[in-house]
């Protein structure tokens, strides 16, 4: 009883802290997230793929499921309307995949690898020539301090032809931020700068006060390439704005500090640079009182116009937010337009029980909440009051299926059937959302009707028999078990293909089948991942 009361007090304190961080803005909660009852039923799962191409290997159980029986005998993979066209396994991959096409037409992929050096021949960020998608070839390995393990901060910018990243080192990184030039030949990036941002040694006007630190984790460029925004896990956790108008000497411009119990994670920036769509990353924890647990995980919209215009001493300003209870560790966002209307794709990294393994999944199921994380679509036409309008929930996420799903995961403790990163075909005219759903593989959705998304294809690679040394799968890896597919996806309408990474299978180039994609109205701008 004392533990229960202590947990409740801690959650109430967190809610109070959050409310204090963002004054005068009411929490706007998704109305479908408070549990399963007659007046407020859980949302329906997304419509399954209508049919697969001949010769495909469709899923044999629930949508997104790799049953325990297949895990025990060695998972051979599933595919539906997507087939493997090319692969570079190398030493595996990690959390993030970026894309760029240079002026000469070279198509390049970039992906991070783990900070571990055991069993490694090639450390750091891998550069891949994908000009022939059937024969992806590594052309360089970036081993400067940030590129040794950029975690989730590795990004490209098309307008200024840049590659950027922060030092993360599996959560033990520092303030180093690096910029590379891709304009000459994207296969061989050229280092422009490597600086310790937020320090007096860097000459920062916005140097952090004594005792505060910057620790890289996540980040994104503003579309014009003049600012890089970081999701910082230092002390305290915060969002940072770094001026890269001079790519040889980036400088810290401003910070937005979060309250206790809230972590900075992923974010995205509007095309005009005046808004940042940042995540409020909280872990609901293993608690027995979901009914009274306040919703704190979600999406915050920040006004960044003072930063964009380079006003002296620029400030972030809160605009609106939405939070939900059926998820945790908000991962990242994508601002999109569908039919001229504004939406935000918001993706979680954990389900309702947090990153607490079986105990968290069981308690979420008992409360009628999804035990696993998913993507969702948020209506942002009124940015002061954004609202969740649909969820990319697979059958494995439905709490009604917990009894069928949880036996698959005995002995697992973290990422299983949930989401991590998603990408769209075109942020301005989005028709398609492609996501890495860890053990459920790469999932592709038709979002032309944002209120009723439909799944059109999936690819879940076979489990590897040997662990990849550069993967972060680590102790969660099991020989023959499903991989972790969790990185951004590059969609290419011209070739009806996509490219991404899975942690032990490495880089994958996949070809759409059965005429399911692209749609007649689909366009994909060259060189971008659209995440």
- How far apart CA 129 and CA 106 sit, in angstroms, is 7
Question: What's the pLDDT score for residue 41?
Answer: 52
- Name, in order, each residue with C-beta under 8 angstroms of 246's C-beta and a sequence gap of 6 or more: none
Question: What's the pLDDT score for residue 351?
Answer: 95
Question: What's the pLDDT score for residue 38?
Answer: 40
**Contact between residue 266 and residue 333 where contact means Cβ atoms under 8 Å apart:** yes
Provide the β-strand partners of residue 278.
267, 300
Q: Is the CATH code 2.130.10.10 the one for domain 2-512?
A: yes
- How far apart CA 119 and CA 467 sit, in angstroms, is 10
Question: What's the pLDDT score for residue 15?
Answer: 42
- Name, in order, each residue with C-beta under 8 angstroms of 17's C-beta and a sequence gap of 6 or more: 259, 260, 261, 262
Q: How far, CA to CA in Å, does 25 sit from each of 314, 324, 342, 385, 443?
A: 21, 16, 20, 9, 35
State the maximum Cα–Cα separation within the chain, in Å, rounded to a whole number: 67
**Contact between residue 106 and residue 93 where contact means Cβ atoms under 8 Å apart:** no
196 burial type by CB count under 10 A (0-12 exposed, 13-18 middle, 19+ buried): middle
Dig out the tokens for 290 from the structure: 């979901």
Which residue in 49, 95, 63 sits closest to 421, CA to CA?
95
**Contact between residue 168 and residue 215 where contact means Cβ atoms under 8 Å apart:** yes
As a three-state string, the secondary structure of 197-229 is CCCHHHCCCCCCCCCCCCCCCEEEECCCCCEEE
Question: What's the pLDDT score for residue 97?
Answer: 97
Question: What's the pLDDT score for residue 64?
Answer: 98
C-alpha 13: how far from its chain's center? 28
Q: Pick out the chain residues at pLDDT < 50.
A: 1-39, 42
- How far apart CA 177 and CA 193 sit, in angstroms, is 8
72 burial type by CB count under 10 A (0-12 exposed, 13-18 middle, 19+ buried): exposed
Question: What's the pLDDT score for residue 43?
Answer: 52
Question: What's the pLDDT score for residue 209?
Answer: 83
- How far apart CA 479 and CA 491 sit, in angstroms, is 30
Q: How many helices (H) and strands (E) does the chain have?
A: 5, 29
Question: What's the pLDDT score for residue 293?
Answer: 84
- How far apart CA 291 and CA 296 sit, in angstroms, is 14
Look up the pTM and report it. Answer: 0.93
Token pair 């920036």 in the structure block, residue: 269
- Name, in order, each residue with C-beta under 8 angstroms of 518's C-beta and a sequence gap of 6 or more: 425, 431, 432, 493, 496, 512, 524
Dig out the tokens for 68 from the structure: 């325990």
Which residue in 437, 317, 303 sits closest to 370, CA to CA?
437
Question: What's the pLDDT score for residue 19?
Answer: 38
The domain locations on the chain are 2-512
- How far apart CA 35 and CA 356 sit, in angstroms, is 20
387 burial type by CB count under 10 A (0-12 exposed, 13-18 middle, 19+ buried): middle
Question: What's the pLDDT score for residue 286?
Answer: 75
């Amino acid at each position: 009883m004392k533990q229960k009361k202590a947990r409740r007090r801690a959650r109430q304190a967190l809610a109070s802290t959050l409310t204090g961080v963002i004054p005068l803005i009411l929490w706007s909660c998704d109305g479908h997230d408070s549990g399963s009852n007659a007046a407020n039923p859980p949302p329906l799962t997304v419509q399954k793929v209508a049919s697969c191409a001949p010769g495909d290997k469709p899923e044999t159980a629930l949508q997104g499921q790799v049953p325990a029986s297949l895990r025990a005998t060695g998972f051979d993979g599933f595919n539906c309307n997507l087939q493997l066209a090319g692969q570079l396994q190398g030493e595996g991959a990690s959390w993030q995949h970026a894309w760029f096409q240079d002026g000469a037409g070279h198509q390049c992929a970039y992906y991070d690898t783990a900070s571990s050096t055991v069993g490694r021949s090639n450390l750091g960020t891998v550069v891949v020539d994908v000009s022939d998608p059937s024969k992806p070839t590594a052309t360089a390995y970036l081993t400067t301090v940030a590129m040794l393990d950029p975690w989730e901060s590795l990004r490209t910018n098309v307008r200024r032809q840049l590659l950027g990243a922060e030092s993360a080192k599996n959560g033990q990184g520092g303030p180093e931020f690096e910029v590379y030039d891709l304009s000459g030949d994207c296969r061989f990036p050229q280092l422009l700068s490597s600086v310790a941002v937020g320090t007096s040694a860097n000459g920062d006007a916005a140097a952090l006060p004594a005792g505060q630190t910057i620790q890289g984790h996540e980040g994104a460029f503003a579309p014009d390439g003049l600012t890089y925004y970081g999701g910082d896990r230092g002390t305290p956790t915060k969002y940072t704005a770094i001026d890269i108008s001079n790519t040889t000497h980036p400088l810290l411009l401003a910070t937005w500090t979060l309250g206790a119990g809230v972590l900075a994670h992923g974010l995205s920036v509007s095309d005009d640079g005046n808004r940042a769509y940042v995540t409020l990353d909280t872990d609901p924890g293993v608690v027995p009182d979901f009914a009274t647990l306040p919703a704190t995980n979600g999406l915050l919209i920040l006004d960044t116009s003072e930063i964009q215009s380079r006003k002296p001493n620029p400030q972030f300003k809160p605009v609106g937010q939405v939070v939900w209870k059926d998820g945790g560790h908000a991962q990242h966002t994508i601002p999109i337009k569908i039919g001229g209307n504004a939406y935000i794709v918001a993706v979680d990294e954990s389900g309702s029980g947090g990153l607490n393994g079986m105990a968290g999944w069981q308690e979420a199921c008992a409360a009628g909440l999804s035990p696993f994380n998913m993507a969702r679509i948020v209506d942002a036409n009124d940015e002061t009051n954004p609202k969740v309008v649909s969820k990319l929930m697979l059958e494995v996420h439905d709490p009604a299926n917990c009894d069928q799903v949880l036996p698959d995961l005995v002995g697992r403790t973290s990422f299983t059937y949930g989401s991590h990163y998603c990408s769209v075909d075109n942020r301005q005219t989005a028709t398609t959302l492609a996501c890495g759903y860890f053990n459920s593989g790469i999932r592709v959705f038709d979002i032309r009707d944002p209120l009723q998304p439909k799944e059109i294809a999936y690819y879940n690679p076979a489990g590897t028999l040997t662990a990849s040394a550069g993967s972060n799968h680590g102790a969660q890896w099991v020989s023959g078990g499903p991989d972790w597919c969790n990185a951004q996806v590059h969609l290419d309408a011209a070739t009806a293909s996509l490219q991404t990474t899975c942690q032990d299978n490495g880089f994958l180039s996949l070809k759409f089948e059965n005429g399911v994609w692209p749609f007649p109205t689909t366009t994909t701008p060259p060189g971008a991942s659209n995440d």
